[in-house]
Amino acid sequence: MMTITEDCIACNACVDECPQTAIYNAGIDYELNGVVTPPLSEDHPYVVGSLCDDCKSCTEVCPVDAIVEA
């Protein structure tokens, strides 16, 4: 699973790039199996681990290398 570090500048390039829709904007709830869950971060985009397939598309577009393997 990928994770977004505090180095993130919240450009949201990763949100747009993720083919699994596993990355959400800061402060946005996400829905999984019909259950709405509060955001994992209020400060920067975040990765929902159960949706991430480790394709690393997000790392290719991150301008500050703030996305790493957890």
**Residues 47-66: pLDDT tens digits?**
999 999 999 999 999 999 99
* Domains identified in the chain and CATH numbers: 2-69 (3.30.70.20)
pLDDT band at 10 (very low <50, low <70, confident <90, very high): very high
pLDDT at 8: 98
pLDDT digits (tens, 9 = 90+) for 21-46: 999 999 999 999 999 999 999 999 99
pLDDT at 28: 97
Overall pTM surpassing 0.95 (yes/no): no
The residues that bridge with 3 in the sheet, in sequence order, are 68
